[in-house]
């Protein structure tokens, strides 16, 4: 699987955008539309900042979906997550705008059903991501504090972020030593060490991930108020964000 269809989808969704647009121009282009970024646009932004995601597709039309299905059929063992992209849908689970475990042969029907269901809710397209391998989920985030400036957040993420509330905080940007402190500071160390056969966290790689992430808010401080990657899944192949979010300063939108 590859990500070439992402380019097909994103440029057809925002026609007229030059292919050589840099990250800052990319964000300002969204701001001009007086809205927050779609998740697929967050993927694009983070990729350009050097972060790796699982291979994914993005379709806005039936024709694009058919092209993607032709590629999906090469690997019928994979199942996929279908997520509706719309500036009017902030919490997809509330709208049942996420479909799990979609097989390649079910992909077109799923796409058409979602397109029709959300036609009146600002449907832009569908982000299609393979189901990730089992692993502990983390949260990596950043938010602006009036006293301390930008703060980087690390901890146990996914569905447990609100339950366990096991997170640590550090002032952005982080050094590698700061990142190590954040990782060591959470209580759920057993989860990071690979419980019950789950993959163990590569702590050095996570430190590099946190350092790199912590620089983004500072770099785009005039644009970004909050960012988060939640969950970030620990897999045998490495650390992969599964969801991404960017929130602009309110005066920007």
Mean pLDDT in order along the chain per 10 residues (253 residues): 40 46 92 93 94 94 95 84 93 90 96 97 95 93 94 91 88 98 97 92 97 96 96 93 94 65
CB distance 110 to 84 below 8 Å: no
Residues 113 and 144 in one domain: no
Residues in the chain: 253
Number of structural domains found in the chain:
2
The whole-angstrom separation of Cα 167 and Cα 140 is 9
Single residue among 94, 110, 130 that ends a domain in this structure: 130
The token pair that represents 239 in the structure block: 């650390």
Domain residues for the domain of 69 are 4-130
Residues 125 and 8 in one domain: yes
**pLDDT at residue 9 in the model:** 40
Q: What is the CATH number of the domain that holds 177?
A: 3.30.470.20
Alpha helix ranges (H) inside the chain: 4-13, 23-32, 39-48, 62-72, 92-95, 107-117, 161-164, 176-185, 189-192, 203-219
Global pTM?
0.87
Single residue among 130, 165, 189 that ends a domain in this structure: 130
Residues 165 and 111 in one domain: no
The whole-angstrom separation of Cα 45 and Cα 202 is 24
**What distance, in Å, lies between the first and last C-alpha atoms of the chain?**
36
Residues 125 and 149 in one domain: no
**pLDDT at residue 2 in the model:** 39
Q: What is the CATH number of the domain that holds 110?
A: 3.30.1490.20
């Amino acid at each position: 699987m590859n990500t070439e269809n992402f380019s097909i989808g994103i440029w057809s969704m925002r026609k007229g955008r030059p292919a050589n647009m840099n990250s800052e121009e990319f964000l300002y282009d969204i701001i001009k539309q007086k809205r927050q970024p779609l998740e697929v646009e967050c993927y694009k932004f983070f990729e350009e900042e050097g972060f790796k995601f699982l291979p994914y597709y993005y379709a806005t039309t039936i024709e694009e979906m058919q092209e993607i299905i032709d590629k999906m059929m090469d690997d019928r063992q994979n199942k996929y997550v279908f997520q509706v992209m719309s500036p009017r849908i902030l919490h997809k689970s509330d709208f049942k705008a996420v479909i799990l475990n979609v097989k390649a042969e079910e992909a077109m029907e799923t796409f058409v059903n979602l397109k029709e269901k959300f036609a009146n809710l600002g449907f832009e397209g569908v982000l299609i991501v393979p189901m990730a391998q089992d692993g502990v989920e983390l949260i990596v985030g950043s938010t602006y504090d009036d006293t301390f400036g930008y703060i980087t957040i690390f901890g146990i993420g996914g569905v447990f972020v609100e339950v366990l509330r096991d997170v640590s905080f550090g002032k952005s940007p982080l050094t590698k030593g700061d990142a190590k402190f954040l990782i060591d500071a959470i209580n759920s160390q057993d989860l990071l060490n690979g419980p019950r056969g789950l993959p163990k966290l590569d702590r050095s790689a996570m430190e590099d991930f946190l350092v790199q992430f912590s620089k983004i808010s500072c770099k785009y401080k005039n644009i970004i108020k909050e960012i988060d990657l939640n969950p970030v899944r620990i897999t045998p192949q490495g650390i992969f964000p599964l969801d991404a979010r960017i929130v602009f300063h309110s005066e920007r939108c």
